[in-house]
């Protein structure tokens, strides 16, 4: 009997944890821009998982479309987890826009073609998308703008954004908006799609941010949060397993904050725009 296909895009800490959490009994298609990063497949194979890999550049429609076609050729594409992204300490404003903004929109487009009825997708956004970002009018524009025109929107121009941090926050807010907009097209196929907004998570990317210029601010936010700790990749994997599973069959087009109560603590302190 053919196995259901789980697609995990981005094989950092969250991607690996999600693959382990939901991959049992299914065929896992791991995708990443780095061929070296895909060596994690050897670890998963050693743990008894059924894994194949493919290199993908999420900023390229052709590359994302090829990944979606590969997934469909393997079997029923029932679960898609898009975890790939760049943080402000890792990349320029332009690169963050290409990967975090355009890349998510392309994945939503191309996997809407191949997701099986009853299937589900989840996109990793960020709690940054809940603390400022886009105006209501900008959100409306982001929701309806064709994917290939997103980077041409004036409020996403690098000179207007001014910094990688601003590009990251606006891109992550846009992720939430695009997932909401994608719920209808995915629903037309009998599928669901949602996003997760992690807080400060102890992944290699998270540790890099903590060691960077924003590290002190991030540690302060953690100390103010209800949980008073860093999140773990398993925290995110548990949320993804819920949203991708049958227990969430009536949940689509929504965002789940998994931040230990950080936004709840910080939002009242933010300036009113």
For the annotated catalytic residues, the residue numbers are 168, 172
State how far the Cα of 206 lies from the Cα of 204, in Å rounded to an integer. 5
State how far the Cα of 77 lies from the Cα of 111, in Å rounded to an integer. 9
Give alpha helix (H) positions in the chain. Answer: 13-22, 40-46, 61-74, 93-96, 103-112, 136-144, 158-161, 164-188, 204-210, 215-224, 233-244, 262-266
State how far the Cα of 188 lies from the Cα of 110, in Å rounded to an integer. 14
State how far the Cα of 89 lies from the Cα of 136, in Å rounded to an integer. 28
State how far the Cα of 198 lies from the Cα of 125, in Å rounded to an integer. 7
């Amino acid at each position: 009997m053919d196995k259901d296909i789980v697609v995990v895009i981005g094989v950092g800490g969250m991607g690996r944890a999600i693959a382990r959490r939901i991959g049992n009994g299914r065929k896992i298609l791991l995708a990443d821009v780095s061929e070296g990063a895909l060596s994690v497949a050897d670890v998963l194979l050693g743990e008894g998982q059924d894994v194949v890999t493919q290199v993908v550049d999420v900023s390229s429609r052709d590359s994302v479309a090829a990944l979606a076609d590969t997934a469909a050729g393997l079997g029923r594409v029932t679960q898609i987890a898009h975890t790939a992204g760049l943080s402000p300490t890792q990349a320029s404003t332009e690169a963050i826009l290409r990967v975090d903004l355009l890349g998510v929109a392309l994945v939503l487009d191309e996997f809407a073609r191949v997701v099986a009825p009853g299937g589900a997708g989840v996109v990793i956004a960020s709690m940054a998308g809940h603390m400022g970002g886009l105006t209501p009018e900008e959100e409306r524009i982001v929701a309806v703008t064709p994917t290939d025109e997103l980077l041409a929107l004036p409020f996403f121009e690098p000179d207007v954004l001014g910094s990688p941090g601003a590009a990251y926050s606006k891109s992550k807010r846009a992720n939430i908006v695009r997932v909401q907009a994608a719920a209808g097209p995915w629903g037309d196929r009998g599928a669901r799609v949602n996003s997760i907004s992690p807080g400060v998570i102890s992944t290699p990317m998270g540790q890099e941010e903590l060691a960077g210029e924003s590290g002190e601010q991030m540690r302060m936010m953690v100390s103010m949060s209800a949980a008073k700790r860093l999140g773990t990749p398993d925290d995110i994997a548990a949320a993804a397993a819920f949203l991708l599973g049958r227990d969430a069959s009536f949940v689509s087009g929504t965002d789940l904050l998994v931040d230990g109560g950080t936004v709840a603590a910080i939002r009242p302190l933010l300036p009113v725009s």
